[in-house]
């Protein structure tokens, strides 16, 4: 499902114009990005948490040049789904 699909679905279900829904979805995503860049996690009860994870410094190998490189410690965004969300997906996804 793409962002356009989400906008269409919300617009169809609520009767709100697609342009308004798109602006709202964009603002929602921008708010999450802004919060994470300020090292503030976002918690959505029943859905999940957008969190910032710290990756430790590590040594890696560049196999094409056969050299060792150091990857510095860095932070990445991550999503952790709520337990109710996970259980609902597990129950409803067909194999």
Q: What is the pLDDT of residues 54-94, one digit of tens each?
A: 999 999 998 899 999 999 999 999 999 999 999 999 998 87
Domains defined along the chain, listed by start: 3-92 (4.10.520.10)
Q: Which residue has the tokens 């860049």?
A: 37
pLDDT at 95: 61
Q: In whole angstroms, what is the distance from residue 10 CA to residue 21 CA?
A: 7
Q: What angle do CA 17, 19, 22 make, to 5 degrees?
A: 110
Q: What is the pTM of this model?
A: 0.78
Q: In what order do the strands lie in the sheet with 74-81?
A: 42-44, 48-55, 74-81
Q: In whole angstroms, what is the distance from residue 81 CA to residue 50 CA?
A: 9
Query: In this model, does residue 16 exceed pLDDT 90?
Result: yes
């Amino acid at each position: 499902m793409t962002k356009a699909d989400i906008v269409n679905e919300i617009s169809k279900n609520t009767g709100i114009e697609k342009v308004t829904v798109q602006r709202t979805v964009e603002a929602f995503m921008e708010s999450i990005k802004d919060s994470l860049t300020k090292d503030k996690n976002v918690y959505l009860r029943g859905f999940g948490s957008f969190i910032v994870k710290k990756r430790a410094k590590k040594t890696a190998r560049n196999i094409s040049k056969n050299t060792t490189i150091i990857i510095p410690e860095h932070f990445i965004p991550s999503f952790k789904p709520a337990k109710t969300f996970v259980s609902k997906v597990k129950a409803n996804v067909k194999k």
